[in-house]
Chain A
Amino acid sequence: MFTNFYYLLKSEGVPVSLTEWMTLMEALAKGLAFSSLTSFYYLARAILVKSEAHFDRYDLAFTKYFTGIETTEDLLEQALDWLTTNLPPLELSSEERAMLSRLDLDELRRQLEDRLKTQDGEHHGGSHWIGTGGTSPFGHSGYHPSGLRIEGNSRNLSAVKVAAKRQYRDFRGDQLDGVRQFEMALRKLRQLSTRADGPKNDLNLDGTINATSQNAGMLKLVWERPRRNMLKIIVLMDSGGSANRYMQICSRLFAATHRTSHFKDVKFYYFHNCIYDRLYTTPELKDWVKTEEVLKSYTADCRLIITGDASMAPSELTMVGGIINWREHNEETGLFWLQRLAKHFPYSVWLNPIQSDYWEQTLGDYTIALIREIFPMFQLSPEGLEQSVKKLMNKS
């Protein structure tokens, strides 16, 4: 049942697992959807979707899959003519509502076809024929718990309509949002700091008390490894030129990295378009240190995050002297420096503020492709950052 809906959800990017799908089947078998599309909408969402960030995608998939059910084929064209009249919304008491029997969707369709065949004209406010108002399951503005809405504006929102409203759009993880989402993503890097390494030199007080008591009161010390995040991070940010457009989003990453106080050391450096023998310590590109020095002072276990649109003239990457600033000269190509960085820091990612769908069409597609061969590239968004955090835990 609805198996295609499962695949549609997956293709829309909702992470649904088979376990959850089976739970939904169990719920349907128990009749928890009450044979109504609206209940099904909420039931399936509660079971299949585990984060409000994915609600919007669920809505999209739901609309795609079930839209056909809301307005059925050309059968309806003549019915539409009957529905042009508007009536005030129907108010029903809960008893009246309960009295209206709930219909199965297939049954409903069959009845609709039947009625289309036998109905001879407009009909409003009744309980049987297609029309506006009333309690017939067909038509609009009326009330029927499992009715089919045909055109008009819904007063008692139907499921597909609710889904089509896409009110959870703001929660999407791949849209640019506050610093907090970045922070949450960065926090995942904390998993790196396990108790697996380092000497056992912290006294475990609870463990000691427990062990001592079990040892008939003879002192028995329990030691454990300290749980400190030993992680060091270097962030290299593109500053100036084409990157200015993405200032806002980059500054969010900056703020998030600053606020996440779990790391042992976080260093920021700046560059313009590509990295050569100098790295700047301010975004205005005034003071600088030698890239060589930075490489020397950080070991391979340090994580490297580079942000930039990776869009530049190909010469800036491939030619000696191709640096964008005409007052400077580079002895080695940009590509050489990037490769050197990637080699020195096996844990590294490139975050690109350009939406990943456009990487192959944008102006800088050539250099983006070149850089992607060196660094794993992700979109600079909460979701991209999350993926890159996973990457930063494994050598690339």
Chain B
Amino acid sequence: MTVKLAEFQGTNDYIVAENLKNSVNVAIALGRPLLIKGEPGTGKTMLAKSIASSLGLKHIIWNIKSTTKAQEGLYVYDTVQRLYDSQFGGCNVSDIKEYIRLGKLGEAMASNEKVVLVIDEIDKADIEFPNDLLWELDMMSFFIPETRETITAQQRPIIIITSNAEKELPDAFLRRCIFHYIDFPDAEMMRDIVKVHYPNLEEQLVQQALQAFYKIRNISGLLKRPSTSELLDWVQVLALGGIQPDKLSSELPFLGTLLKKNQDFDNVLQYLSQRGTKQRGSSTLWRG
């Protein structure tokens, strides 16, 4: 028996690996949240946007901060507004419904159409945060005691959760998720990614930049290895600066776009000098 999947295929501006695509489709078919982990800059947040536009659905982003509480995602009862109205007149104060504001998760559940909900960087919040949402994510419904109302999702939203592994997530929460770890793209895929972002770049420049990029990434002992988004910045800077592709791997201009830590800078420079190449002088090192 096979089910018809609402197949996610990737979009024009987002290159997606085959197995990630499968994970997304599995999560959709099983109706479970998809937990995405991976190095920073591998496009975790972009994925949800791509899913939404590929399936033609609305997408809602719930950005998690360290102060975010689970309750806020469902609804907030605006008591202050109600007090204000009761003293100075305004809306119908006796109707509490007027003062219930749905949060992002609540919004996704109340929506009449199917939506894609991103819970972005869930690991930023308090350790207990994911546990507080277990029931709601399972049942896709929640109860508002103030109005004695239960909101239940008509169409189960597609839920994508991203994590940077700042904190460990509770086991009970993990059990309910489909998990995908985004591997760092290999050179071939990376070329496609660069092309999608900057279709008009010289082939040779991209080639050289990629080569240098992977060489730097493979230097051991870097505190923060450059990632996709940094490569994209770098390639753009290189193109704008009119750098000759053949000089690229020996001089590594605008290195500050790739490396964000002083120690890494020293590391790479040392590596370069060991290989008997020259750095063009400090003028190119405009960051770090």
Which residues of A pack against B, CB within 8 Å?
15, 17, 19-20, 23, 26-27, 29-32, 39, 42-43, 46-47, 49-52, 55, 167, 184, 187-188, 190-191, 209-210, 212-214, 216-217
User: Are B30 and A23 in contact (CB-based, < 8 A)?
Assistant: yes
Residues of A within 8 Å of B134, CB to CB, are: none
Q: Contacts A43-B26, A47-B26, A213-B82: A190 and B127 contacting too (C-beta < 8 A)? A: yes
Interchain nearest-CB distance for A393 vs B (Å): 14
On chain B, the residues within 8 Å of A29 by CB distance are 1
Q: Is the CB of A26 within 8 A of B79?
A: no
Contact status B82-A46, CB under 8 Å? no
CA A184 to CA B169, docked complex, whole Å: 12
Closest to B32 in A: A23
Q: Which of A27, A210, A212, A217 contacts B87 (CB 8 A)?
A: A217
Cβ contact within 8 Å between B175 and A17? yes
Question: Contacts A19-B175, A31-B3, A188-B168 known; A46 to B26 CB distance under 8 Å?
Answer: yes
Q: A39-B22, A216-B83, A217-B83 are in contact. Are A30 and B179 (CB under 8 A)?
A: no
**Which of the residues A19, A52, A213 comes within 8 Å of B79, measured between beta carbons?**
A213
20 CB < 8 A contacts A-B: A27-B26, A30-B1, A30-B30, A31-B2, A32-B26, A46-B23, A46-B178, A46-B179, A47-B179, A49-B179, A50-B174, A52-B37, A55-B181, A184-B165, A190-B127, A210-B77, A210-B79, A210-B80, A213-B79, A213-B80
Identify the closest chain B residue to A43 (Cβ): B26
Known: A17-B171, A31-B3, A167-B183. 7 other contacts (CB 8 A): A19-B175, A23-B30, A29-B1, A39-B22, A46-B23, A46-B180, A51-B179
Contacts of A47 in B (CB 8 A): 26, 178-179
**Contact of A43 with B22 in the complex, beta carbons under 8 Å:** yes
Q: Indicate if B210 sits at the interface (CB-CB under 8 A).
A: no
- Bound Cα distance from A213 to B181, whole angstroms: 46
State whether B23 touches A187 (Cβ < 8 A): no
Cross-chain contact of B3 among A19, A30, A212 (Cβ < 8 A): A30
Which chain B residues lie closer than 8 Å to A167 at the CB level? 183
Q: Would you call B1 and A20 a contact (CB within 8 A)? A: no
Chain B residues with CB below 8 A from A210, complex form: 77, 79-80
Also in contact, A213 and B26, with CB within 8 A (given A52-B37, A55-B181, A184-B168) = no
* B155 beta carbon closer than 8 Å to chain A: no
Would A187 and B79 be within 8 Å (CB), given that A23-B32, A30-B29, A50-B174 are in contact? no
Q: Which residue of B lies closest to A39 (CB)?
A: B22
Q: Is the CB of A27 within 8 A of B29?
A: yes
**Which residue of A has the minimal Cβ distance to B169?**
A50
Interface 0/1 of B233-247, CB less than 8 Å to A: 000000000000000
In the assembled complex, the Cα of A262 lies from the Cα of B178 at a distance in Å of 32
Is B263 among interface residues, defined by CB-CB distance under 8 A?
no
Once bound together, how far apart are the Cα atoms of A23 and B177, in whole Å? 10
C-beta contact mask, B18-38 vs A, less than 8 Å → 1, else 0? 010011011101101001010
Contact in complex: B83, A27 (CB < 8 Å): no
* CB–CB A20/B175 < 8 A: yes
B280 in the interface (beta carbon within 8 A): no
Interchain CB contact under 8 A, B181 and A52: yes
Does B175 lie within 8 Å of A42, measured CB to CB?
no
Which 9 interchain pairs have the tightest Cβ spacing?
A: A213-B79, A31-B2, A50-B174, A213-B83, A52-B181, A50-B179, A46-B23, A42-B19, A46-B178
Question: Given the complex, which residues of B lie within 8 Å of A20, measured CB to CB?
Answer: 175
How far apart are the CA atoms of A66 and B82 in the complex, in Å? 64
Min CB–CB distance A210 → chain B (angstroms): 5
Contact between B79 and A30, CB atoms less than 8 A apart = no
Residues from chain A with Cβ under 8 Å of B77 in the complex:
210
CB contacts (< 8 Å) of A19 on chain B: these are: 175-176
User: What residues of A have a CB within 8 angstroms of the CB of B80 in the complex?
Assistant: 209-210, 213
Contacts of A209 in B (CB 8 A): 79-80
Chain B, range 74-92, C-beta contacts under 8 Å to A: 77, 79-80, 82-83, 86-87
Q: Are B2 and A30 in contact (CB under 8 A)?
A: yes
A23 to B34, CA, bound (A): 13
Alpha-carbon gap, A252 to B203, bound state (A): 43
Residue B167 interfacial (CB < 8 Å): yes
Which interface residue of B23, B29, B30, B167 has the most chain A CB atoms within 10 A?
Answer: B30
> What 1/0 mask marks residues of chain B from 203 to 219 whose CB sits below 8 Å from any chain A CB?
00000000000000000
Task: Please give, as numbers and ranges, the residues of chain B lying within 8 Å of A190 by CB-CB distance.
Answer: 127
Q: Which residues of A contact B22 (CB under 8 A)?
A: 39, 42-43, 46
A191 and B83 CA atoms in complex are apart in Å by 38
- Nearest chain A CB to B184 CB, angstrom units: 11
The CA of A139 and the CA of B199, in the complex, are separated in Å by 40
What are the residues of chain A within 8 A of B1 when measuring CB–CB? Answer: 29-31
Nearest-neighbour CB distance to chain A for B9, whole angstroms, equals 12
CA distance A214 to B183 in the complex (A): 51
CB distance from B219 to the nearest CB of A (A): 15
A187 near B29: Cβ-Cβ < 8 Å: no
Q: Which residues of chain A are near B167, meaning CB under 8 Å? A: 184, 187
Q: Inside 8 A of B176's CB, which chain A residues have their CB? A: 19
- A217 to chain B: which residues have CB within 8 Å? 83, 87
Within the complex, which residue of A32, A39, A212 is in contact with B29, where a contact is CB–CB below 8 Å?
A: A32
On chain B, the residues within 8 Å of A23 by CB distance are: 30, 32
Residues of B within 8 A of A17 (CB): 171, 175
Q: How far is the CB of B277 from chain A (nearest CB, A)?
A: 29
Report chain A residues within 8 Å CB of B27. Answer: 46
Contact present for B82 and A50 (CB under 8 Å): no
Residues of A within 8 A of B179 (CB): 46-47, 49-51
Closest B residue to A50 by beta carbon equals B174
Instruction: Give the complex CA separation of A221 and B180 in angstroms.
Output: 46
